[in-house]
Chain A
Amino acid sequence: MEFIYYFGDVFTPMSFMLLLGGTIGGLILGATPGLSPTMAVALLIPFTFQLEAAQGLILLGAAYTSTVAGGAVSAILLKIPGAPANIATTLDGHTMAKKGEGARALQLSFLASAVGGIFGVLLLIFLTPVLAQWALAFGPSHLFWLAILGVTVIGTLDSASVVKGLLSGCIGLWLATIGFDDIMGAQRFIFHPALGGGINIIAALIGLFAIPQVLTMFAKGRHNTGAEVIEVQRHSIMAAFKELFSRTRALSIGTLTGSIIGLIPGVGGQIAGLVAYDQAKKFSPEKDKFGTGHSEGVIAAESANNAMVGPSLVPLLTLSIPGSPTAAVLLGGLLIHGIFPGSDLFDNHPDVAWTFINSMLIGQVLMCIFGLYVAGLAARVAQVPQSVMAAIVLALSVFGAYSVQGSMGDVYVMACLGIGMFFLERFGFSAAPLVLGLILGPIAEANFIQGGMIADATVGKASYFMTGGLNLFLIAVVLASIAYSVWMELRSRRYTTKEEAQA
């Protein structure tokens, strides 16, 4: 119950203002198609340099929470999901809006998001300290395998091709080795002076998540969103409350599904929303109404994608393994303040850890309140031409990358990685495992070297890294995640081939 002591810190004027700003800004950014939650959080990191660690994290956490919920606005009013997490919301939400029930759909969406989100953060509050203490038992070999696990799980589950996902992770691990070696001081892969200090994580994150989006917007040409905002009629909030709690089956399915999926590294909000929607449909006596503007569809999808947010941070805060690309960006936000997640965070910086987590709890309530008022404005912002968005994101990326260390080298690295990532994505590679490799590379290498030294003095490298219960368990999970993804890929290919043959 330690978290209760730090509730007051969320309500200091500066912290609360940042929470409010992050929530409202996140709602608007989330509603804008093409601006993903990960990119929004990455672009915000430079604004946290001048803030205290807890305040910086409050801003990033608020933006993360509300961008996921904000995506429902454009999904319902424009039929364009603001983020992949909101795809399932369009199925019933937009149909409700077309029937003149837009306000009802939005109210149910934000209320369900808040219920799911609060449950997810409570899970984060109660699971994290226990797991952080458990993580104290981890030695270098376990931390090495955990880092590898982080890269392989996201590489295999987040990519359409297992091999390309793992290859993206390898590219990220290699990029992390560029610069001077920590132990011998040797130069590694420095083929340009801008790389002398290695690749700055924040500049890389901005480039890898923002620049491909900018180029994708350019690639659409002189394109209008073409979507008309559906006018919203008034609807009683109390009626929405009553309806939400009369649909407890959909709400609990969404909340539980989202929370469980959030705990699995690499799975993400898109899967959470779609799985919850599918399960709510299966268990509903009114399954025929799904897809025709049924409120249970909106409730299940939105409670799931916000319930996923809190648990997705559990692996990050306990084991330093980001469970999602956005969690990886948040890790970057922690590292720039010299704070390392895990037991160190809860033992030496409990104020930072608990203020951040508490702010996410308060943020869910603020997101619900302001979501209902900001929805109309957010839908208008979502209609802003993509040319304006692309130019804004490009300029923010350049200024953001420069402000990390006041170096043009970081701007060049940001641009090169971003342009390269755009083409790699077009060839089937994925940014998430590459980012995870870049972030977890130094952790993996430091523990590989440290473990190697211990092994040389004791049992030898092979025994040290490949034996012991926990090592074997982690290796088994790495192999299982790869095997599962290969099986899924082969199965989907078989179905595709059958469909092609029938066609």
Chain B
Amino acid sequence: MNRSQHVFGSGLVFAVGLWVAWVSYTQQPAEAFLFPRLIATVFVVLAGWTFGKAVMGLSKVGNGVTRTMFVNMLPGLTITLIYVFWAAKTLGFYTATTIAFFILLSIYDPAPHNEVKTWIKRGIITAVFVAVMYGLFAMLLNVYTPREILF
């Protein structure tokens, strides 16, 4: 893993540690922040140590994210974010799940994309999976998920 990734990752953790320490030591009532102060102190020391090592190029543990990995992951991550933060609430859980599941399957399925048979297979897998999810959550566990504009 390259040095800049180590610096970025540990720098972000260090920044969070500093923020936690700042909030812990400035917010009132002080009694409520007694335990967070204890944690924040250790947090900042360890995060500072990690960040310092990364800056000096001494960080060895961690494989980082390679360009290929990131490119492979990007479509899946984007769909995950849209599914979780927008579609599930706006379209309804089952509709959003059907769409997200089918798209993810289509993107990452190693089967060829130019055969009708594989598309039918993906459609059937999606339909069966969503039916099982409906049976499990809506009928067996009685979980009422947002239905919103569709289902």
Contact = CB atoms under 8 A, between A and B. Distances in A.
Given A221-B108, A406-B143, A395 B61 contact: no
Nearest to B35: A445
Contacts of B93: 398-399, 402
B interface, how many residues as a size bin?
A: 35 or more
Interface string B79-106: 0110111001100010001001100110
Interface string B1-45: 100011001100100110010010001110111111011101100
B143 to A, nearest CB: 4
Residue among B5, B75, B101 with most chain A CB within 10 A? B101
Interface string B114-142: 00000000000100010001001100011
Contacts of A448: 34-35, 38
A474 interface: no
A269 to B, nearest CB: 22
Contacts of B34: 448-449, 452
A399 B38 contact: no
B46 to A, nearest CB: 4
A184 B108 contact: no
Given A184-B29, A426-B62, A426-B63, 11 more contacts: A50-B141, A170-B39, A186-B33, A214-B80, A221-B108, A387-B104, A394-B83, A395-B129, A398-B93, A406-B144, A427-B62
17 contacts: A160-B61, A161-B60, A167-B47, A170-B43, A170-B46, A184-B29, A184-B31, A186-B32, A189-B36, A218-B75, A386-B108, A391-B101, A391-B104, A394-B100, A395-B129, A411-B88, A428-B59
The 8 A-B residue pairs with the shortest CB-CB distance, nearest first, are A428-B62, A387-B108, A218-B76, A428-B61, A427-B9, A221-B72, A186-B32, A181-B32
Interface of A: 46-47, 49-50, 160-161, 163-164, 166-167, 170-171, 173-174, 177, 181, 183-184, 186, 188-189, 214-215, 217-224, 385-388, 390-392, 394-396, 398-399, 402-403, 406, 408, 411-412, 415, 419, 423-429, 444-445, 448-449, 452, 493
Interface of B: 1, 5-6, 9-10, 13, 16-17, 20, 23, 27-29, 31-36, 38-40, 42-43, 46-47, 49-50, 59-65, 68-70, 72-73, 75-77, 80-81, 83-85, 88-89, 93, 97, 100-101, 104-105, 107-111, 125, 129, 133, 136-137, 141-146
